[in-house]
Amino acid sequence: MENRSLKKVTSVWIITILVLFLASITLGIIMRFNQGTQLHLKPNTFYATLTTHGVTMIGIWAAAGLVAINYLLSRYVKTSAGLSIFALVFTVIGVVMLWMSTFAGNFHAAWTFLYPLPLAPYAAWKAWATNLFLWSLVVFGVGWLVWSVGMMAQILRNYSITEIFAWQHLTGKEPEKKTPPFILISSVSLIGIILCLLAAVVLLVFFFMEMYTTGVKNDALLMKNLTYFFGHTLANEALYLGLAAVYELMPEVGGRKKFGTTWYVALGWNCTMVFVLTAFFHHMYMDFVQPGGFQIVGQLASYFASLPAAAVTAFSVATLVYRNRIKWSFTNLLFFIGIIGWLIGGVGAVIDSTISNNIILHNTLWVPAHFHTYNAMGNVLLCLGFFWWAAHDFSGTRDTFRSHWPTLTLLLIGGFGFVLMFYLGGASSVPRRYAVYPEGIANGAPLATAAAWFAVVYLVGMLMVFLTIIRRCTKAFSPAS
Amino acid sequence: MYKSLLAGLLALTLAGPAHPDGGVYDLSEEEGLYTPIADVPLHLASDTTQLSRLYARQPVMVALVFTRCTGICSPFLLRLAEDMRALDPREKFKVLVVSFDPRDTQADMDGYARLFQLGGDDRWLFATTPQIEALTSSVGFRPTWDSLSGQFDHEALLVGVNGNGYIIRKMAGIRERKDIASLIKTLTGEFIPSYPLPGEDRLLSCFTYDPVTGVRKPSYGLLILLVPAAITFILMLWMGLASRKWRLKKS
């Protein structure tokens, strides 16, 4: 009964996320066409669209990872469909509040909503829009925090603290109780998510103290640190949730033996857990009043956070597919390409997080280039792999690749073409966050137009994925399932 | 002696403030920033031109003086000339010295330039204008005529004007060389690091700054970044211990 409820709520989650994803891609296409001068939005509308696109995308793909591990955790521990429903309701309410704040209230301080901009007296939006935006974040945060803590509590009922971190594997001896990689990565990621959501709580408390009391002014540097502690960490941990699904499902779908936890897998993910929490300092390079030591920590943590997880995962996936008979399905291809996209985007991120490069690349299209690569062609594909697998699991249909190669071709051409335009823009110093490029930036508009058309191709591919998944997910509600 | 001191104090008290409405001393370095400077006609040593023709060619640093000044104008200009020689970014901008005293003639200004050995320096332009009111009000400069001393009561003011004619920086008083260097960087489009200072009304500042030594140090605000980590650690520890008891009970 519980499993059936879990399937149902997972199906609703998948459909909700994909609907919001298609809508947010459309917003992205509108913005790129505007930058390419094919459309002519008012600047306020452009930035309201940018804000909606950014927050929705980060939110839904973090939620997608939580959906995936919530469903897959039921293989190891008892999971709660109730908590998932609770988080779903809060997410939907949060999305409605967010979209109202931006499109009805014209709030357009971007996903970063860097202090003091949301509270600025000269801001071109009404105070209620700021209130609604910040409260929408509260609603998201409460839903996901309760859900994440709930999942963590369930894991801890079956595994001790040392076991969730797989420390018993670090000795090199065969442990009495093994920690599956899925439990290790889920735990590491959930702890990171809980931590960054708590950072958001502190940030929002400071915002509200200034908004609802008199005489309180916040420190801009502290607020920026908290914003990126929350935002950067959430975006990274969301990726790791997708990887947890890959570790769990990729060998299984490919007809191979499951991945095991070895000392280097345990070490790699423990390092990632620690370093990813301090990597956000690389967003503060331009804040020269930040203590110098933190800037160095930011650069080193950016290397150390990404390298262990990337190396261990790339090695594991390579050993799985190299000279091995593996059953390729659409799920596995999405996982495999998603890993490649994550690694390419990761390299772009590490290049940008190096201080000497960041001075040049900081405000260019290189930044959206790398994060769109590891999201649109990384985490999205990893989670989509899970969605595809789950939809087939719910409907009892066979997951094959044969009839879906046009979909994959569209996703590949559209996705990589789209991010390539960002990289080319970044490499030629086209600035980011411009609604319209001034005349002096010759490359900006044509690259934006090309990117928009590639995104249209990607959108068509996603629509095809969506239609297949929705047909299968609805089977979860049929009495026979 | 005692009586004369008392009388002097009494006279000062009765006289009241020289500028009850603030006068020249309400000069603000922020007022009028990023607004256009008045495009006034200028009489130079060699010809007559518009201010806009000057700033269209290169950014302009405008200094407002008057030649009969017995106060700040001479030390201000002397110091500025020294700083310019030391910093020396030639061909990048002009220094326009304009008299705000309607009595000053072009000959007075030429003499003033020679006094500071700047007559032959292409970077320096000494000018008068028939529309000085428009110029001074556009930069927020309010000299007050003191008939007793026969002098203008005024502050030294240096104004940075970019290639579009916008006031991008104002500096009041005789400033240190590093400030002039910063003004030059602003004019020539270089990056100027600036950050709001942590005021007393700020909640939990991340750093402290001593304006005398120029030293900044990490402050208590940074400890706030440990709060989410501390709460998560306590939460995990509590859940871990609670679930251990639960597992023991179950087994």
Q: Where are the beta strands (DSSP E) in B2-70?
A: 41-43, 48-50, 60-65
Residue B175: alpha-carbon gap to chain centroid:
8
Q: Is there a contact between B235 and A194 if contact means CB atoms under 8 Å apart?
A: yes
Q: Is there a contact between A217 and B201 if contact means CB atoms under 8 Å apart?
A: yes
Q: Is there a contact between B231 and A289 if contact means CB atoms under 8 Å apart?
A: no
Of residues A480, A475, A479, A481, the one with CA closest to residue A11: A475
Taking contacts as CB-CB distances below 8 angstroms, the residues of chain B near A153 are 239, 243
Q: How confident is the model at residue B22 (pLDDT cuts 50, 70, 90)?
A: very low
Q: Is there a contact between A219 and B204 if contact means CB atoms under 8 Å apart?
A: yes
Left (φ > 0), alpha (ψ -120 to 50) or beta: where does A172 sit?
left
Q: Is there a contact between B228 and A229 if contact means CB atoms under 8 Å apart?
A: yes
Class of the CATH-defined domain A2-477: mainly alpha
* Residues with Cβ within 8 Å of residue B30, at least 6 apart in sequence: B170
Alpha-carbon separation of residue B202 from A131, A241, B12, B152, B162 (angstroms): 22, 38, 40, 40, 33
Q: Which residue of chain A is at minimal alpha-carbon distance from B235? A: A149
Nearest to B216 among A153, A217, A289 (CB): A289
Sheet holding B60-65, edge to edge: B124-127, B94-99, B60-65, B157-161, B167-172
Q: How far is A160 from chain B (nearest CA, A)?
A: 6
The mean of the pLDDT values for chain A is: 92
Listed in sequence order, the DSSP H helices in A375-443 are: 380-395, 405-427
The lowest-confidence range among A34-48, A290-304, B227-241 is A290-304
Q: What is the mean pLDDT of residues B37-64?
A: 94
Q: Which residue of chain B is at minimal alpha-carbon distance from A229? A: B225
ipTM above 0.85, yes or no: yes
Taking contacts as CB-CB distances below 8 angstroms, the residues of chain A near B198 are 219
Q: Is there a contact between B221 and A201 if contact means CB atoms under 8 Å apart?
A: no
Q: What is the mean pLDDT of residues A49-73?
A: 96
SS3 A80: coil
Q: What is the mean pLDDT of residues A145-170?
A: 94
| Cis status of the peptide bond prior to A116, with omega within 30 of 0 | yes
- The neighbour count for residue A404, using CB atoms within 10 Å, is 20
In this predicted model, what pLDDT tens digit does every residue of B210-249 receive, in sequence order?
777 878 888 888 999 999 999 999 999 999 999 888 888 8
Please tell me the distance from the alpha carbon of residue A139 to that of residue A101, in angstroms, as a whole number: 14
What is the phi/psi pair of residue A77, to 5°?
-135, 170
Q: How far is B181 from chain A (nearest CA, A)?
A: 19
Q: Is there a contact between B228 and A153 if contact means CB atoms under 8 Å apart?
A: no
In this predicted model, what pLDDT tens digit does every residue of A331-349 receive, in sequence order?
999 999 999 999 999 999 8
Helices (H) and strands (E) in chain B, counts: 7, 12
pLDDT at A381 over 80: yes
Q: Tokens for B227, please give them.
A: 């709060």
The mean of the pLDDT values for chain B is: 85
Q: What is the mean pLDDT of residues A9-34?
A: 97
Q: Is there a contact between A156 and B240 if contact means CB atoms under 8 Å apart?
A: yes
In this predicted model, what pLDDT tens digit does every residue of B140-153 receive, in sequence order?
999 999 999 999 99
The lowest-confidence range among A80-94, B48-62, B80-94 is B80-94
Nearest to A202 among B227, B235, B236 (CB): B227
Q: How confident is the model at residue B5 (pLDDT cuts 50, 70, 90)?
A: low
Taking contacts as CB-CB distances below 8 angstroms, the residues of chain A near B237 are 161
In one-letter notation, the amino acid at residue A77 is: V
In one-letter notation, the amino acid at residue A199 is: A
pLDDT score for A306: 78
pLDDT at B186 over 70: yes
